[in-house]
Structure 1
Amino acid sequence: MAKRSSLSIRIVEGKNLPAKDISGSSDPYCIVKVDNEPIIRTATVWKTLCPFWGEEYQVHLPPTFHAVAFYVMDEDALSRDDVIGKVCLTRDTLAAHPKGFSGWAHLTEVDPDEEVQGEIHLRLEVVARPRGRRLRCSVLEARDLAPKDRNGASDPFVRVRYNGRTQETSIVKKSCYPRWNETFEFELEEGTAEALCVEAWDWDLVSRNDFLGKGPGQLIPLIEETTSTECRQDVATNLLKLFLGQGLAKDFLDLLFQLELGRTSEANTLFRSNSLASKSMESFLKVAGMRYLHGVLGPIIDRVFEEKKYVELDPSKVEVKDVGCSGLHRPQTEAEVLEQSAQTLRSHLGALLSSLSRSVRACPAVVRATFRQLFRRVRERFPSAQHENVPFIAVTSFLCLRFFSPAIMAPKLFHLRERHADARTSRTLLLLAKAVQNVGNMDTPASRAKEAWMEPLQPTVRQGVAQLKDFITKLVDIEEKEELDLQRALSLQVPLVKEGPLFIHRTKGKGPLMSSFKKLHFSLTTEALSFAKTPNSKKSALIKLANIRAAEKVAEKSFGSSHVMQVIYEDDAGKPQTVYLQCKCVNELNQWLSALRKVSISNPGLLGSYHPGIFRGDKWSCCHQKDKSDLGCDKTRSRVTLQEWNDPLDHDLEAQLIYQHLLGVEAALREKHRELSAGTEAGSVPTGPGEAAEDALAQLLRVLRDLQEAHRSSPANSPPSEPNRLLALQT
């Protein structure tokens, strides 16, 4: 299996952008390009010079990519969108410095007249150590950083990531010209193309901020102990997907539940920390329960967005002037605004709770089984009458506080909406999320005391607690046999990977014509790409999955329109065919390409090249070759994919990512093994669990050593004739 780089991209916000519109403002959005090919487009934030996007992506790239560029654009409905600025992260920075690099890394301008702000002074060098070569990164200082705080300064620190390890500098308070002079070292393996990521952060911005086999109960705590808070979510997601793909997700989560319960003495702190159990359960709900979330929450979110009502319960924030009283020639009073807002929120909360109450059977079988196991474990741990609500709160701490509430506050991040909410709608969503949290907390006095102005919702909240307890009781009381029958029925269904409307291009005469695009509903499963006239009509298979040879973008000039992809495949007679499909936006295009590439990545006969143009008349529009069967003029990108909650499970990839993480913390694991060994030798009586943990850890370290040896001896990983020392720099 060829190696892929996993690139995490977080597009947070912009500050003090230039005004591009006559109104003195801009309509900014971001485009991310890999080697000049756009793969991501954020939502547009209208009429602002300080936009907040808050969007996160994870992109899988081949190790040969050269640069990632971030363009900030101003959307214009009447003319071409303006370029506000660009940040380019490239390997070429180090290409001319094979022995190391020392200098200022800064933002690159798009327009020579544009001002750029912020540079970091770095020193990179390769040093020899007795145990091998290491990459040394010295973070010296920064200058002219953007002020992120109200005091006109920032609290900057630098995060350095390489080869699965993350290290951070200290925080320099209230400075745009910080000095750190801190040095980090990382293991350097010959022949690898890992990217060195150097990121400057403002402390305020990030304040929100088992491989099981034998002895899993001993290994999981050790992995959690040696995993930093920053990468715990990634480790939890990788482990969860690995076990979910093997039908062991419930057992894996049950083990984590038992470990968490074993170290929790106070019932009110249960599952409230960012432990591996909490992070794994969050990932589990997103992977296994997202369609369920859409079914329950989608209609309520759509209603909030469509109504756009002014809603406010906090008297100190009421803006009476924003709301007129229908039919009267006077503004509403504060009391009238508060009462109308309470009525609106009670309506939304009641609709949500009713939808949830009716959804017991719609909840995925594996989610029901996991919640049932969680409920039983907590009830066994806290059996007294005074803890009667604790099992219910354990379920709601995940279902409401870590799943439904975040989705209500940021529906775009959960794919419930295509764009972020405006300020008015965001406030309504925030208040609704707070009400859901109060219901999830079982309306405790502590939750009520935090914000007394939420009191008008209390009748609905109290009723919601009763509804939620009834829902959970039904959810966890489904008989085992019925559960197994349902799981068996679900396992017989072909899993759906992606679906949605696309325009298919029918060719006429000598070449494709714009008028031949036809809108159909497409479905991609692990067996075929199919289409139908409507989502509910009978589907017809278009392409068998095993016959796909490539899925690539089509050059915009080929059809005179954007967002067109081509799927190259073989028909039943073995002849090459191409179908052209148009998407509504660049994000949708890349999601379809990503899905198609993932489900066909193991197909034999994948193409190494393709034509980004079309064959019109007697030649290819891209390279003007006259033979339609000639080899393509551009390389395919079969391994450039996005990672999303509904991705098909890739066991090999998840195992590789876990292996990469364990290599990054190998030194910490060896140190822990030495501590356990010393404790066993010093004790006069066998320690039991300590010895078991030592044995399990020793076995894990042996497995890591064997895998490293296998990688080194593999022909695919042998070093090239000229060692590749290029590293990608991200600032």
Structure 2
Amino acid sequence: MNNITETPQIPFKAPTTSRLKYWPKRGARLLRKLDISPGVFKTSVCTGPDVTRQWGCLFSALPAFINGYDNPALKAPEQRQQSALTMAEEDDARIRILQSLRGKICEAKNLGPVSGPNRQRDLCTFCTISLDQEEVFRTKVYDKSVSPFYGEDFYFEIPRPFQCLSFYVYAKSVFQRDLPVGKVSIRKDDLCKYSGKEHWLSLQPVDPNSEVQGKVHLEMRLNEVITENGSVGQHLVVRIIECQELPLISGQNCDPYATVSLVGPARSDQKKTKVKKKTSNPHFEETFFFEVTRSSSYSKKSHFQVEEEDIEKLEIKVDLWNNENLAQDVFLGETRVPVKILRNDHIHKAWYLLQPKGNGSKSKSDDLGSLRLKLTYIEDTVLPSACYTPLCNLLLKSPDVKPISASAAHILGDIYRERYEAVLPMVRLLLHHNRFVPFVSAVAALELDNTQEANTIFRGNSLATRCIDDMMKIVGKNYLAVTLKPVIDEICESNKTCEIDPVKLKEGDNVEVNKENLQGYVQKVFSSITQSSSTCPPLMCDVFRSLRHLACKRFPADPHVQYSAVSSFVFLRFFAVAVLSPHSFQLRSHHPDPEIARTLTLISKTIQTLGSWGSLSKKLSSFKETYMYDFFKSFQEDKCIEKVKKFLDEISSNVSKESSGLEDAVVLKEGEVQKRAQGRKRLGKKNFKKRWLRVTNRELSYHKQKGKEALCTINVKNIKAVEKLDESAFNRKNMFQVVHSEKPLYVQAGNCVEASEWLEVLGQVSRCNEGRLATFHPSNYTGGAWQCCKNQSNNAPGCKPCTTTMLANLQLDIDCDRETERIFSLLSSNDTKLQDMEDACASMAVYQGPQREQEEYSKFTIQEPKETFQTLKQLRNVMEELQRQHNIRNDTTAQYGSLNNPIVGKTS
């Protein structure tokens, strides 16, 4: 018998009476307008015994069964909710987590003997960096020493999630096999503890059972069952769904399988999945059942002790292994989950991080030595662009603020006077929006106003000098490569002895020959620099022209100051530093050997002094070292001074340089890769071969080895797309494809960092090409069809949209949202100084006491307290709003146990 349930009164917009006849008869029996209140309706809904009687559920489902009823008043709330949900999802999709790591591998101390039968000490060593188990950086090999000095800087973007950062020290044996000495492993969550400072960290042993990575997705539940004898028992159901990011084995995808065990004090029931071939992301989808009996149901025939049955003592153990057909299987990781978490018929489904086996066999730290490291790990959560507009606009209007010290950009530099990384994002943001020159001109003018002597201009580490230093590194990168890289390569590869200090001469050295070698190198470097004015970037010329004008205005009586204002940057802070540390400017891949480093030091000191000659009233400079004074006598020629002045005039004059129309070829990236053979069908041939890949601003080429002739050259103008390739295409990680006018070029990079860098460089150099593709195939064409979309036409359009290249300039690859987020993070972390600056402004505006009372505010540059205070208040307002946007999105961050935030389980 059906019941008629009358609903409560629900207000909503009334449909017209003429449309009531279209109300469906199924489900709703009555709809009539009430006289008690306009726009209020009452419905009677027919429900049966199998229908839910909850009115909220019925009413929320009402639009679904009112077929054909298209009243906008009814549909609008649902549409608005769906629209809001869609917008939120799209908003979240535009949130980016960007990670980078900068640092230095300084040195090792008291390295212990390497593992192996000989336990050798005092071997040649090198150091590597790994994200989880993937090597992403390697130093060169250093000579025999138990305390080697590496001195290698590194910087790279981290393109994927990771759990652990590890530094390994290896030794080269007589058989050229890498032998592990020890490692330092730092969990991602602990990296902030070491940020920005040097630390000595003890080396730990490299144990195969501790070399793990990846995560496993599990689903578990306890089911109550009634046994044949009527007692109540429990079955444990464990479903192993999949794994992700398992390590490569010998550079290839592994053949993984899992063992699932129920373990307790006196039992261990184990089951095993099938082996999955050639994958680091296996999908198992296998379910296992374990019998768990309550203590009340035990009898004398039970196989297990009563106390062992206590669920509190049972746990699920999942081990991942790589199947080795002819050798011992390789351990990939494990996780342990206590059964006690499964209560009240709860289904537990979560991702778990794989852990090493805890075997307790840790060596003493002193046995293996220690490693000195300097690390700066940065993780930015970049929101949609609209969130950064207020802060970005406030920073970009800084050049127009009077005085400049009251601007937001100057305030940022003021409160971060000692930190290099604070100025860099601001410089990049101003460069992108063409606001750098007016800002740095205003800041330089402020500094010159406080400079009393012409021979000391721009000598300190001020905001102006830091901004210009960063600008030259960003804008002048290719300029340095064209000007100095050929001669630096020659110096490093020829390795002629150039020592002229009598104290440091080795037995058998000829000081005259060394002096001749050094003079030859200096002449080549000096000529390369003074003949490079035509290739100096226009932006650098604009800055130098402004500095020259400001210096002349400040010291009109000094004829040399116009040259010293420019040479103090281009020679002292640019060319001389690049010669001294070529690896820091990407002119060399590694820190030079000590002997070459000494040669570069002597050349750098010479170039620095030669560059200052054009701004000196007397020719010969003073030197602390007598041998340098004697060496410089050979350069006392007027033509050297004229060359310097001519060069400085050309890069800082108002005359526009004429372009030849031919852009110099600049090597943007090169390195060893694995290239897929094109169109090979014969069996027995290797489909992947090592090749040297090289990309310039003109062409992409690959070679059999570095320095050999190109086997294939592709004009960058013919590149139509550069995209990632699915791992399933060739069962290989870190692969990408270059789509050009012929067949796609398939390439495997050495690691995820290398792959990301290749994609970025190739994407930028081809971003403006005509005929770029809008879609691409993320897999390969084989077996008569594309493996991604199964389309059988080889010429079929792609099935996935191409990655858009948003960066507007190859030299200035600047992500403005990321830079603004970095500035926001810096300001937020130094809120105390902002508050101190506000207090200083307030105090200075109302207090006119003696100057000594204001000493506490001398750390800030405050010319106009009221203007500065207003800017500080504006900064606080936009920061509060941006923080609110972060808080909204933090509420929806990955739940513990999700793919992006796996549970860190127990270890053995």
TM-score normalised to the size of structure 1? Answer: 0.66
Indicate the residue corresponding to 2:103 in structure 1: 9
Shift of 1:529: 8.9
Matches within 5 A, 1:192-211: 210-211=395-396
The answer to whether the aligner puts 1:693 opposite 2:864 as a matched pair is no
Matched, 1:285 2:451: no
CA contact 1:3–1:62 (8 Å) conserved in 2 = no
Task: Letter of the 1:41 partner, please give it.
Answer: R
Q: Deviations over 1:686-717 (max 9, x none)?
A: x982222222222222221222223333x576
2:830 matched residue in structure 1 = 665
Residue 668 (structure 2) aligned to one of 478, 493, 498 = 498
Q: 1:361 to 1:531 in 2, by over 3 A?
A: same
1:340 aligns with 2:513: yes
For the 8 Å contact 1:7–1:59, the answer to whether it is kept is yes
Match of 1:109 among 194, 205, 214: 205
* Displacement of 1:600: 11
Please say if residues 498 and 595 of structure 1, whose CA atoms lie closer than 8 Å, have aligned partners that are also in contact.
yes
Report the Cα distance in structure 1 between the residues aligned to 2:892 and 2:474, rounded to whole angstroms: 36
Indicate conservation of the 8 Å contact 1:29/1:72, yes or no.
yes
Q: Deviations over 1:499-528 (max 9, x none)?
A: 547656324228995367596865487xx9
Aligned residue pairs, count:
585
Q: 1:237 aligns with which of 411, 417, 424?
A: 424
Partner of residue 592, structure 1? 758
Name the aligned partner's letter for residue 218 of structure 1.
Answer: A
Kept in 1: contact 2:699–2:713 (CA 8 A): no
| Other-structure match for 2:144 | 47
Partner of 1:581: 747
805, 813, 821: which one aligns with 1:648: 813
- Residue 448 of structure 1 aligns to a residue whose secondary structure is coil
Which residue in the other structure is 2:686 paired with?
514
Map 1:351-430 → 2, pairs under 5 A: 351-385=524-558, 388-430=559-601
CA contact (8 A) 2:469 2:573 kept: yes
- Matched residues in 2 for 1:86 and 1:597: separation? 36
- Alignment-derived partner of residue 309 in structure 1: 496
Task: From the superposition, tell whether residues 586 and 704 of structure 1 become closer, same or farther in structure 2 (CA, over 3 Å).
Answer: closer
- SS for the counterpart of 2:97 is coil
**Closer/same/farther in 2, CA of residues 282 and 311 from structure 1, 3 Å limit:** same
User: How far 1:592 sits from its partner (Å)?
Assistant: 1.7
Q: Is contact 2:101–2:378 with CA below 8 Å preserved after alignment? A: no
Partner letter of residue 407 of structure 1?
A
Residue 225 (str. 1) matches residue 414 (str. 2): yes
Q: Which of these residues, 445, 460, 483, is aligned with residue 296 of structure 1? A: 483
CA distance in 2, matches of 1:93, 1:691: 42
State the AA in 1 paired with 2:823: I
Shift of 1:472: 0.5
How far did residue 495 of structure 1 move?
12
Contact 1:549 1:606 in 2 (8 A): no
Q: Is the 8 A contact 2:481 2:587 kept in 1?
A: yes
Relative distance call for 1:217 and 1:598 in structure 2 (3 A) is farther
Separation in 2, partners of 1:342, 1:109: 48
Question: CA, structure 1 residues 584+450, in 2 after alignment: closer, same or farther (shift >3 Å)?
Answer: farther
Give the TM-score, by structure 2 length. 0.55
> Once the two structures are superposed, what CA deviation does each residue of 1:159-198 show, in whole Å capped at 9, x if it has no partner?
999999xxxxxxxxxxxxxxxxxxxxxxxxxxxxxxxxxx
1:26 maps to 2:120: no
**Identity of paired residues, percent?**
24
Q: CA deviation at 1:582?
A: 5.0
1:628 and 1:456, CA in 2 relative to 1: closer, same or farther beyond 3 A?
A: farther
Instruction: Give 1:275 shift.
Output: 2.0
Q: Which residue number corresponds to residue 457 of structure 1?
A: 631
Structure 1 residues 570 and 273: CA distance shift in structure 2, 3 A: same
Q: 1:626 to 1:344 in 2, by over 3 A?
A: closer
Residue type at the aligned position of 2:487: I
Q: 1:552-602: per-residue Cα shift (whole Å, max 9, x none)? A: 8899995xxxxx8422588999xxx9742256899865632454688999x
The one-letter amino acid paired with 2:879 is: L
Give the conservation status (yes or no) of the 8 Å contact 2:580–2:600. Answer: yes
Q: 1:474 to 1:8 in 2, by over 3 A?
A: closer
Aligned to 1:207: none
**Structure 1 spans left out of the alignment, 5+ residues:** 95-103, 115-143, 165-209, 324-336, 559-563, 630-637, 640-644
Q: Aligned-pair distance for 1:54? A: 2.2
Native 8 Å contact 1:497 1:646 kept in 2: no
Which structure 2 residue ranges, 5 or more long, are not aligned?
1-94, 192-199, 211-363, 381-394, 703-708, 792-802, 805-809, 850-861
* Larger RCO of the pair (alpha carbons < 8 Å, separation 6+): 1
SS at match of 2:631: helix
CA 427–513 in structure 1, closer or farther in 2 if over 3 Å, else same: same
Go from structure 1 to structure 2 and tell me whether the alpha carbon gap of 1:72 and 1:551 turns closer, same or farther (over 3 Å shift). farther
Name the CA shift for 1:301/1:280 in 2 (closer, same or farther; >3 Å): same
1:469 aligns with 2:645: yes
- What secondary structure is seen at the aligned counterpart in 1 of 2:181? strand
SS at 2:102's partner residue?
strand
1:567 equivalent to 2:736? Answer yes
Letter in 2 for 1:358: Q
* Residue 675 (str. 1) matches residue 840 (str. 2): yes
Counterpart of 1:434 in structure 2 is 605
| Higher Cα radius of gyration | 2
